[in-house]
Amino acid sequence: MIDIIELLQREFGAGQLITDEDRLIPYGKDESDNGLYLPAAVFLPTDALQVEVLCTLALEHKFCITPRGLGTGKSGGALPINGGIVISFEKMNHILDIDEESLFAVVEPGVITLDLQKAALEQHLFYPPDPASLDQCSIGGNVAENAGGPRAFRYGVTREYLLGMELVRMGGERFSIGKKSVKGVSGYDMTALMCGSEGTLGVFTRLLMKLIPVHRPSGIILAYYPTATAAGKGISTLLRSGVFPMSLEMLDGTAIDHIRGIEGFNPPAGTQGAIICELEGLPEDDALLSSVADLFESTGITEMRAAMDVPDMNRVWEARRRVSTRLKEMHLKKLSEDIAVPRGAMEETLHIVSDIARNLGLESASYGHAGDGNLHVNFLSDSEDTHKNLERAVMELFVRICALGGTLSGEHGIGISKRKYMNIEHDPFSLKMMRQMKKAWDPHNLLNPGKIIPEGY
């Protein structure tokens, strides 16, 4: 590998390459708990031409490249599991244009998601996707993982906002796909294919993201229930009611207990299920407020609270974002999955989770984007005797929710974490087709190899 480093040092300035082991360590990890994989070097491009050169050299000298945004991924997509070169987009972090007439932004892939939201807001425009990591993750990473967040319920996930991109294929061809119009049917939809491709097909160098007009002021209703399944039923009732919230989130009793008392979140004792419902128009629309309140009353709540001004609402969301870290801090081991199921199967899924946990002597916590059928399911173990059951719990979960028509991942992607479970969800022919697509884009398997598609396909 030393020759390749010399080659890159000759080609690019010293400031663009990291080779010291100490400085490589942060690039060998992400937020997936999959361990450390050190690359031979990290390359920090400042423009697309340099990406083109790297991809040309990689094919010529047959070394691997792993694209990396800001390393917040939860499925190991940015881990250089075969060594080689990590290409980190932290210096390509410029918003190049916001077109107020046609409502789109042109950005480099390293732009932090929150920075795009703020820049759009300055022009009275809105970029809705809101992963909980929005102040630490990049648009490139969001596109590669098709990231979502609470607002996906009303506004959709990243895919709905990706109009097109410039990208580089392994071998160095740089080209553009997609369009600046919102609609279009012109050949295979390669833009959609790139969204969720986890850095395995092409390296994004410029992204064209749709913006929308800013929404009306919103407010939050917190509805508390005696059981998680009652909250699940509450979600189903709301889904059928015609009310269309911006976000519709749910927490079970264990998730609630881990954030109870954080400012903004104080459910009454005995609460075992909660819904967070954010609705446009609430603060000023009394008729809407009373009709939604009536609707919640009819679903068996124990209590209801409202957060109508921005600081109060921020406190609610801040508390909700802390569930994952609190669970991690307070248990010896946790395995966390982000399954999605048909929306009508939410109640059954909650039963499945508690059933699996009980049978295997584990605790469970489920919370998340229930309006979309997307639940963060956590299996928790605090004793050596039950640690070994965690993997089994996850396997059983995947088998049972896939039988309901669900999916292994609602938003975190497959990476290396869930690769071995792919054949539970996909039939062998689909997996072979995925391998063929990978071959068409990257015949020598040099771009982020070992991700998504399981071994044997």
Ligand X SMILES: Cc1cc2nc3c(=O)[nH]c(=O)nc-3n(C[C@H](O)[C@H](O)[C@H](O)COP(=O)(O)OP(=O)(O)OC[C@H]3O[C@@H](n4cnc5c(N)ncnc54)[C@H](O)[C@@H]3O)c2cc1C
Nearer to ligand X, 386 or 448 (CB): 448
CB-based contact 296:223 (threshold 8 Å): yes
Nearest residue (CB) to ligand X, 149 versus 253: 149
Pairing of strands 363-369, 374-381: antiparallel
Closest distance to ligand X from the beta carbon of 295 (Å): 26
**Least distance in angstroms from the C-beta of 78 to ligand X:** 4
Of the pair 76, 283, the CB lying nearest ligand X is at 76
Tally Cβ neighbours within 10 Å of residue 332. Answer: 11
Ramachandran category for residue 270: left, alpha or beta (phi over 0 → left; psi -120 to 50 → alpha): left
Q: To the nearest whole angstrom, how small is the minimum distance from the Cβ of residue 114 to ligand X?
A: 12
Question: Rounded to an integer, what is the distance from CA 261 to the centroid of its chain?
Answer: 27
Least distance to ligand X from the beta carbon of 370, Å?
13
Of 194 and 275, CB closest to ligand X: 194
Nearest to 233 by CA among 152, 302, 304, 300: 300
The nearest distance, CB 176 to ligand X, in angstroms, is 14
The two structure tokens encoding residue 295:
């609707």
Residue 415 identity (one-letter amino acid): G
For the bound state, the minimum distance from the C-beta of residue 333 to ligand X, rounded and expressed in Å, comes to 18
Least distance between ligand X and beta carbon 91 (Å): 12
The answer to whether 452 touches 415, Cβ cutoff 8 Å, is yes
Q: Which residue is it, tokens 């809407």?
A: 288
3-state SS assignment for residue 353: helix
CB of residue 148 to ligand X, shortest distance in Å: 5
For residue 205, the surrounding DSSP H or E stretch is strand 203-210
Angle in degrees, CA 420, 423, 425, rounded to 5: 115
Place of tokens 């390296």: 203
Question: Residues near 187 by Cβ (< 8 Å), separated by ≥ 6?
Answer: none
Instruction: Identify which of residues 264 and 283 has a Cβ nearer to ligand X in the complex.
Output: 264
Residue with tokens 């294919």: 193
Q: For residues 149 and 164, which CB has a smaller minimum distance to ligand X in the complex?
A: 149
Smallest distance, Å, CB 165 to ligand X?
A: 9
Strands 273-280 and 303-307: unpaired
Q: Which is nearer to ligand X, 52 or 198 (CB)?
A: 198
Q: Which residue has the tokens 């509805």?
A: 223
Taking the complex as a whole, the smallest distance from the CB of residue 36 to ligand X amounts, in Å, to 15
Burial profile 349-376: b = 16 or more Cβ within 10 angstroms, e = fewer? bbebbbebbeebebbbbbbbbbbbbbbb
Which residue lies nearer to ligand X by CB, 400 or 438? 438
In whole angstroms, give the CA distance from residue 196 to residue 188.
Answer: 16
Q: Which is nearer to ligand X, 137 or 301 (CB)?
A: 137
Residue number, 320 or 426, with CB nearest to ligand X: 320
- Phi (first) and psi of residue 340, to 5 degrees: -130, 140
According to DSSP, the residues that pair with 335 across neighbouring strands are 379
Least Cβ distance, residue 376 to ligand X (angstroms)? 9
C-beta of 326 vs 351, nearer to ligand X: 326
Collapsed DSSP state (helix, strand, coil) of residue 147: coil
In order, the DSSP letters of 231-269 are HHHHHHHHHHHS---SEEEEEEHHHHHHHTTSTT--PPT
To the nearest whole angstrom, how small is the minimum distance from the Cβ of residue 97 to ligand X? 18
Nearer to ligand X, 73 or 450 (CB): 73
| Separation between Cα atoms, residue 390 and residue 76, nearest integer Å | 19
Confirm if 4 and 19 have CB atoms less than 8 A apart: no
- Residue ranges that bind ligand X, judged by CB under 6 A: 30-31, 66-74, 77-78, 89, 109, 131-133, 137-138, 140-142, 144-145, 147-149, 198-199, 203-204, 324, 411-412, 448
